[in-house]
Amino acid sequence: MNRIRLAAATVNQTPMAWDANAHHIRAAIAAARDAGVSILCLPELCITGYGCEDMFFSAGIQQAALDILEELVPETHRLITCFGLPIFYEGAVYNTAALVCDGRLIGLAAKQHLAGDGIHYEPRWFRRWPADVVGRVAIGEAEYPIGDLLFDCGGVRIGFEICRDAWVADRTGARLAQRGADILLNPSASHFAFAKQQIRERFVLEGSRAFCVSYAYANLLGNEAGRSIYDGGTLLATNGKMLARGPRFSFADWLLTSTVIDIDATRRAKAESFTEVAPRSSVDEGGLVETNFRYQHLDVPIGTTEVHSGICTSDRSTSELTRSLAVDVPGHPAWETGPHQKEEEFARTLALALFDYLRKSRSQSFVVSLSGGADSATVSVLVYLLVQLGGQELGFERLAEKLSHIRSLSSKRSLTGGNGATANAPSPCPLPGGEGSRELVRHLLTCVYQSTRNSGSETLSAARTVAEAVGAEFLQWDVDTNVDAYVRTVSTAIGRELTWERDDVALQNIQARARGPGIWLLANLRGALLLTTSNRSEAAVGYATMDGDTCGGLAPIAGIDKAFLLEWLKWMETTGPAGIGPLPALSAVTKLRPTAELRPSTADQTDEADLMPYRVLDAIERAAIRDRLLPIDVLEAVQPQFPQYAASQMGTWVERFFRLWCRNQWKRERYAPSFHLDDENLDPKTWCRFPILNSGFDRELEELLEHLRGMTANN
């Protein structure tokens, strides 16, 4: 039997972080060699990082990627692997996978289908490579084949489907299989979205079955460039059977997953399926690249898998950091197939995203204006989960090491100045353990309750309870003095007193804005990242005060709707992520009705009274924005979902949504960067473009009102 070990590795990269990116790749290669791997698939554009954006046009960036490739080629002794990088060829940039065999560059397969929808802009930077075309590109003093290539390495034929190439109907793998491919490698940079992993598994399984090949899928890992999150999740399959799955949402720098495949078995399956394969002697040699390679053939059972992970630091060798996580466990963790998959994915995605954003931005900690409401509580809990999930995987000491840029976590730095005064930061963190997780949270998160005379005792109690439950530092101050000063200044200038009857919105907004300067000051003093707590439902209708509750450098939950957040908090209160468990103290928040607390308490203000029920709002948003329906069509699509409400009431809410949506695009343009979580994003910088100045759908809304009047008359 012709058995060899096939592997896929995920790496946590950063755009243009040459040394760190190369270090992660080297560690994965070394682990693969130690594990007896013959063929290793690395992710798409792993040398540069996928998120370089317009810097892909830079000749200097292109050359730096080639320089790193030249450094990495000698690392591939006794191994075949691929390196993703941009290549400039005949006046255009191409997204390529360079195949390197036993210390020698063989050629570069080029991506044939570019992702240009949703958050993707690949056609802006890269040119699509046409099928069945091969060229020659000069790299250094030599020329190499580039294009639609099939590599014959020691009698085993290897082809590529680079990410999007596998998502289209006209998959490149079909043609490669007809040309005799034994193995397909899929280097990917596939961003996270809820339930997306099931789609990836389907095309990996279907590709391996339909093409009668072994298939290796390698995705990126972590928050690479700020908005997109990559969940890792390497996949290895053969003949329609999944042999191995790598863990998702890892806090490690790299993960390697390997399995043993049987080349003869896939060839027999191909022969038995009557797949039309060109005889090896008659294959178009223009697209076939041959090289001699002596595989390490294995006499072990098929399906034997290994998963390794590592954290790369300058003072530790790869062998010291490689540890076996799982053996012969190709199935899903229980949480991935349980009834709360979305809740689990949300917790794990955001925890990893915040962790990477913190360390890659070199921020010293997080600051949250904790109101006692659902949104700020969610953001605070996500920081808590960063510590819990990261500590569960790596251990709290190693997690703290990965955050060693934080001064208060570094035992090598003094926190006292020359005059003996203590710097404005928490005391040095002991080696985590026992209460170490709470201590680590305290170093990473400060929560501040900023009250006015309209704030209630219940929200203060809820805020304090949440902060104590997660282990955050809790501060409290009153902003009434600031609010009163602003009101007095403007009242004097315009010559009249401001009143709630006449100036309701302005008086609400000044309270939110008065909270901004103090929380920004604290964040600046700490060198911290201020997290804003706005959600997608609020963004849709502009139910947020610019320069008030939108203050911050990052908006972690701006991509998720309020109805889900309320459900998620209840799940966190009673269940929580597998291996972590619940936070019962969240009942202090979940029992409260969402309210901005900006009107006097006698007004009994609630968010849903100001807007509409959140479930209705989210249904209207999806119909109007995701599905691009106009007002009458939105009403007809949404009304059956909520039979408890009269058509006239639903029509009022549809009209309100469209008017608020149209007048608040400028706010969405100014939101802090947010994380992409699903394909219903409102972020105008990555997904949903809408003109700031627009008609307000005046004619369409008049048609809606006429339609409602007609319905009333007929009844």
Q: What's the pLDDT score for residue 303?
A: 63
Three-state DSSP class for 144?
Answer: strand
Q: Say what the pLDDT of residue 142 is.
A: 95
Please give the structure tokens belonging to residue 460. 């203060």
C-alpha to C-alpha distance for 248 and 255, rounded to whole angstroms = 10
pLDDT digits 0-9 by tens, 107-154:
999 999 999 988 889 999 999 999 999 999 999 999 999 999 999 999
Residue 670 has pLDDT above 90, yes or no: yes
- Asked, for residue 580, whether it belongs to a domain, the answer is yes
Q: Are 570 and 656 found together in one domain? A: no
Q: What is the rounded CA–CA span in Å between residue 251 and residue 257?
A: 16
> Does residue 563 lie within any of the structural domains?
yes
Task: Classify residue 478: in a domain, yes or no.
Answer: yes
Residue 345 placed within a domain = yes
Q: What is the DSSP string of 599-642?
A: S-GGG---HHHHS--HHHHHHHHIIIIIS---HHHHHHHHGGG-
Q: Are residues 498 and 630 in the same domain?
A: no
Please choose, from the candidates 7, 48, 6, the residue with its C-alpha nearest in 3D space to the C-alpha of residue 24.
Answer: 48
What pLDDT, on the 0 to 100 scale, is given for residue 323? 35
* Dihedral of the alpha carbons of 500, 505, 507, 509, in degrees to the nearest 10: 160
626 located within any domain: yes
| pLDDT mean across residues, the chain | 90
Tokens of 81: 């692997």
Give pLDDT, residue 98: 98
- Among the candidates 332, 357, 385, a domain finishes at 332
Residue 559 lies in a domain: yes
**Structure confidence at residue 307 (pLDDT):** 75
Radius of gyration of the chain (CA): 28
Domain that holds residue 622: 612-715
- For residue 119 the two structure tokens come to 């958050």
8 Å CB contact between 124 and 158: no
- Rounded Cα–Cα distance for residues 367 and 354 (Å): 12
- Distance between CA atoms of 337 and 342, rounded to whole angstroms? 10
357 and 261 share one domain: no
Q: Are residues 587 and 640 in the same domain?
A: no
Exposure on the CB side of residue 437, measured as CA atoms within 13 A? 18
Taking the CA atoms of 436, 437, 438 and 441 in sequence, report the sign of the dihedral they define. positive
Residues 16 and 145 placed together within one structural domain of the fold: yes
Task: Identify whether the C-beta of residue 330 lies closer than 8 Å to the C-beta of residue 243.
Answer: yes
DSSP 672: P
How is residue 572 written in tokens?
Answer: 């966190």
The pLDDT > 90 percentage for the chain reads 82
Here the CATH number for the domain that contains residue 643 is 3.40.50.620
Whether 553 and 637 share a structural domain: no
Residues 622 and 511 in one domain: no
DSSP state of 554: B
Contact, 50 vs 11, CB < 8 A?
no
Q: Decide: residue 714, CB within 10 A, 0-12 exposed, 13-18 middle, 19+ buried.
A: exposed
Q: Is 327 helix (H, G, I), strand (E, B) or coil?
A: strand
Q: Which of 321, 314, 183 is nearest to 254 (CA)?
A: 321
Decide if 373 is inside a domain: yes
pLDDT for res 286: 62
Has residue 366 got a pLDDT over 70?
yes
Asked whether 75 and 101 are in contact (CB, 8 A), the reply is no
pLDDT at site 297: 67
* Rounded Cα distance, 534 and 425, in Å: 27
Verify that 142 and 93 share a domain, yes or no: yes
Tell which of 602, 633, 650 closes a domain: 602
Mean pLDDT within 71-95: 97
Which amino acid is residue 279, in one-letter code?
P
- Tell me, what amino acid is at 155? G
pTM (2 d.p.): 0.92
* Helix 457-470 vs helix 374-394: crossing angle, to nearest 10: 10
Q: What is the pLDDT of residues 448-506, one digit of tens each?
A: 999 999 999 999 999 999 999 999 999 999 999 999 999 999 999 999 999 999 999 99
Nearest to residue 633, comparing CAs of 536, 563, 703? Answer: 703
pLDDT tens-digit profile of 609-659? 999 999 999 999 999 999 999 999 999 999 999 999 999 999 999 999 999
CATH number at residue 102: 3.60.110.10
pLDDT reading at 362 higher than 80: yes
**For the sheet containing 241-245, what is the strand order?**
241-245, 235-238, 214-218, 183-187, 156-160, 150-153, 288-291
Q: And the tokens for 550? A: 């939108």
At 222-267, the pLDDT tens digits run 999 999 999 999 999 999 999 999 999 999 999 999 999 999 999 9
How many domains, the chain? 3
pLDDT score for 45: 98
pLDDT, tens digit, for every residue of 380-427? Answer: 999 999 999 999 999 999 999 999 999 998 753 333 333 333 333 444
CA distance linking residue 402 with residue 149, whole number of Å? 40
Q: Is 594 found in the same domain as 517?
A: yes
pLDDT band at residue 434, thresholds of 50, 70 and 90? Answer: very low
| Count of residues making up the chain | 715
> Is 420 inside any structural domain?
no
Q: Flag whether pLDDT at 62 surpasses 70.
A: yes
Range scoring the smallest mean pLDDT among 164-168, 322-326, 489-493:
322-326
Residues 544 and 622 in one domain: no
Instruction: Establish how many alpha carbons lie within 13 A of residue 668's alpha carbon, considering only the half-sphere containing its beta carbon.
Output: 28
646 token code pair? 């009269």
pLDDT value of residue 433? 37
| Pair (345, 268) in one structural domain | no
| Torsion angles phi and psi, residue 32, rounded to 5 | -65, -45
Q: Looking at the DSSP assignment, which residues form a beta bridge with residue 231?
A: 221
Q: How far is CA 523 from CA 76, 519, 529, 530, in A?
A: 46, 6, 6, 6
Q: Which of 584, 602, 620 is the last residue of a domain?
A: 602
Q: Is 140 exposed, middle or buried (0-12, 13-18, 19+ CB in 10 A)?
A: exposed
**Residue 587 sits in the same domain as residue 618:** no
